[in-house]
Amino acid sequence: MEKYIYDKKNGLWYELHGDYYLPCLTLPAEKEQPIGIWGQRHRRHLRQHRKALYTELLTSGRLNSYLADLNEQAEAMFLEMEKQMAEREGVTEQLKTQDQMLWVQRMNNIRDRVSEIINHDLIFA
């Protein structure tokens, strides 16, 4: 039996493994992009709860670019919302010079709330 055979009907090569011919499949080349914390969280969510979408993105070679794009959106949204909430609640540089601990408490509270909003609206949607 030959090690490799070509099927003209579907255009695939097959490799002999034991007594069976298995298709020689490879993933398309994908541009490597860094994925931040938001992209990693979304990837984990897709892998656990949206398996069909995860598999489709992975096999089509679009997973990495999809996650990098989502990470950029989430990061921009985070920075903008953090800035808006800090302005609305009066958390300024003046407060930072007057009472550093109060400023840290309020900023941590704002960051936590913004993180929850982004998780709800983008990451786990």
46-92 tens-digit pLDDT: 999 999 999 999 888 899 999 999 999 999 999 999 999 999 999 99
Structure tokens that stand for 47 in this block: 């892998």
What are the strands, taking DSSP E only, across the chain? 4-7, 12-17, 20-23
Q: What CA–CA distance (Å, rounded) separates 113 from 43?
A: 22
Measured over the CA atoms of residue 46, residue 51, residue 54 and residue 58, the dihedral's sign is positive
Q: Is the pLDDT of residue 26 over 90?
A: no
Distances (CA, A) of 58 to 10, 29, 73, 77: 22, 11, 20, 26
Does the reported pTM lie above 0.85? no
Measured over the CA atoms of residue 37, residue 40, residue 46 and residue 48, the dihedral's sign is negative
